[in-house]
Amino acid sequence: MEYIEKTRIRIAHWIKHNEDHLQEYEPLAHELESAGKNESARYIREMTALIAQSNDCLRSALKAL
């Protein structure tokens, strides 16, 4: 398998991996809020937005290949 094809597979895997984790973060943020840890919940949501932005970059990189 050539390098570019391996890279496509790798990037697609990273996108999927990130998406799987994204599904876990909002429930965690909600649980933190329920426990009175609003600042921690805010950071989790901020991180979630950054990961979503990272996935946009990965999708762009994939398209550029």
Mean pLDDT confidence for 2-17: 97
User: pTM for this one?
Assistant: 0.86
In the block, tokens 């970059």 appear at 57
The mean predicted confidence, pLDDT, of the chain is 97
Residue 22 has pLDDT above 90, yes or no: yes
Question: At 1, is the pLDDT very low, low, confident or very high (cuts 50, 70, 90)?
Answer: confident
Q: For the chain, what percent of residues have pLDDT higher than 90?
A: 98
- For residues 23 and 48, the answer to whether their CB atoms sit within 8 Å is no
Number of domains in the chain: 1
Nearest one of 20, 4, 30, 27 to 55, comparing CA atoms: 20
Q: Which domain holds residue 9?
A: 3-64
